[in-house]
Amino acid sequence: QKEVEQDPGPLSVPEGAIVSLNCTYSNSAFQYFMWYRQYSRKGPELLMYTYSSGNKEDGRFTAQVDKSSKYISLFIRDSQPSDSATYLCAMSVAGGYQKVTFGTGTKLQVIP
């Protein structure tokens, strides 16, 4: 079993829809949770970063962490065609220089 599981999609939604992207994980020591967006043939860019449990909002994006369920989500409100990309979740443990473990990514397509 992979440490981080993410549905690869693709996920197709109409413009303006609310998008929900999710990851589950098995390592209860994960404390830092991140979401990256990656456009085709480009490097990933950090969208959201949260520590431990709770919600964090930034514009149209909301990141949610439920450590009791080992489940994290990224919500995108009022989705736009420019949101079409692959979204990768990532997480790491606390306590020093540790590697970040990535999900395999969910491909999102927002249809105009």
Partner 1 sequence: DSGVTQTPKHLITATGQRVTLRCSPRSGDLSVYWYQQSLDQGLQFLIQYYNGEERAKGNILERFSAQQFPDLHSELNLSSLELGDSALYFCASSVTGDLGETQYFGPGTRLLVL
List of residues contacting partner 1 (CB under 8 A): 31-32, 42-46, 49, 51, 88, 92-105
Give the whole-angstrom CA distance, residue 34 versus residue 37. Answer: 10
- For Cα atoms 105, 107, 110, give the angle at the middle one, nearest 5 degrees: 145
Q: Smallest gap, in angstroms, from Cβ of residue 31 to partner 1?
A: 8
Q: Is the dihedral of CA 12, 4, 99, 104 positive or negative?
A: negative
Q: Smallest gap, in angstroms, from Cβ of residue 52 to partner 1?
A: 10
Nearest Cα to 83, choosing from 7, 5, 8, 18?
Answer: 18
Q: Which of helix, strand or coil describes residue 63?
A: strand
17 vs 101, beta carbon nearer partner 1: 101
Q: Smallest gap, in angstroms, from Cβ of residue 69 to partner 1?
A: 21
Q: Smallest gap, in angstroms, from Cβ of residue 98 to partner 1?
A: 6
32 vs 61, beta carbon nearer partner 1: 32
105 vs 110, beta carbon nearer partner 1: 105
Give the whole-angstrom CA distance, residue 36 versus residue 57. Answer: 15
43 vs 112, beta carbon nearer partner 1: 43
